[in-house]
Amino acid sequence: MHSLLDLTDRVALVTGASSGIGAATAETLAELGARVAIGYHRNAQGAESTRKRIADAGRTVVAIQADVRHGEEVKRLVDRTVSDLGPVDIINVVSIAGHTGGGPGAGPYASAKAALTAYTKSLAKELAPHGVRVNAVSPGVIDTPFHEVFSTPDMIRSFVATIPVGRVGTSQECANVIAFLASDAASYIVGETIEVNGGQLMR
């Protein structure tokens, strides 16, 4: 029986795929059959490691450097992906900070993620009539290099105290939800933001 999670002939462009959630997502989508473009900014070594793991598994993958703060580089990234692999199927990654405002100093980050949540809904309304579904995944506290840099052990312990399941999440747990949304198993899910936070924020 055809698996609803089969992503054969789909194309994924995963930004930030040199580590953390992005790398796990790229590998998971490739394992399910998608052709994958790894977008990265500075971490060329991490991107190459991700690319090699996917390629060694016999999957189609390219790595493309770009700074997504600049519109012309985003266009180049997408154009190169389409040229090498085909038209892209896309999911947005937001954050629990878009709901809570994040920690001290996280205002710009939280604001950008809140805007992306709203933009997900706007795009979903515009594109659904054309057969394009737009959804988002909102990670909570996930064990990634981000927290290794920006969160102290005491901060992590304080976060965990607010999470009903009693632990931080993993990049793979986020990647699994992203893969689900990209698949036909989510064919009637449109404009939604799925929270992946162990119950820290329930909506």
Rounded Cα–Cα distance for residues 38 and 182 (Å): 16
**Domain co-membership, 102 together with 51:** no
* Residue at a domain's end among 55, 89, 123: 89
- Residue 81 sits at the vertex; the CA angle it makes with 144 and 19, to the nearest 5 degrees, is 10
Q: Domain total for the chain?
A: 2
Task: State residue 2's pLDDT score.
Answer: 58
Longest CA pairwise span in the chain (Å) = 50
DSSP label at residue 92: E
Residue 119 falls in the annotated catalytic set = no
Rounded Cα–Cα distance for residues 171 and 177 (Å): 10
Residue range of the domain that includes 55:
1-89
**Rg of the chain taking only CA atoms, in angstroms:** 17
Contact residues for 125 (Cβ-Cβ < 8 A; gap 6+): 191
Extract the tokens encoding 141. 């506290």
**Domain co-membership, 165 together with 77:** no
Q: Model pTM greater than 0.75?
A: yes
* Per-residue pLDDT in tens (0 to 9) along the chain, 203 residues: 459 999 998 999 999 999 999 999 999 999 999 999 999 999 999 999 999 999 999 999 999 999 999 999 999 999 999 999 999 988 999 999 999 998 888 899 999 999 999 999 999 999 999 999 999 999 999 998 877 777 788 989 999 999 999 999 999 999 999 999 999 999 999 999 999 999 999 98
2: left (phi over 0), alpha (psi -120 to 50) or beta: beta
**Domain co-membership, 73 together with 115:** no
DSSP label at residue 89: P
* Residue at a domain's end among 42, 63, 89: 89
Query: Considering 40, 109, 119, 188, which one is annotated as catalytic?
Result: 109
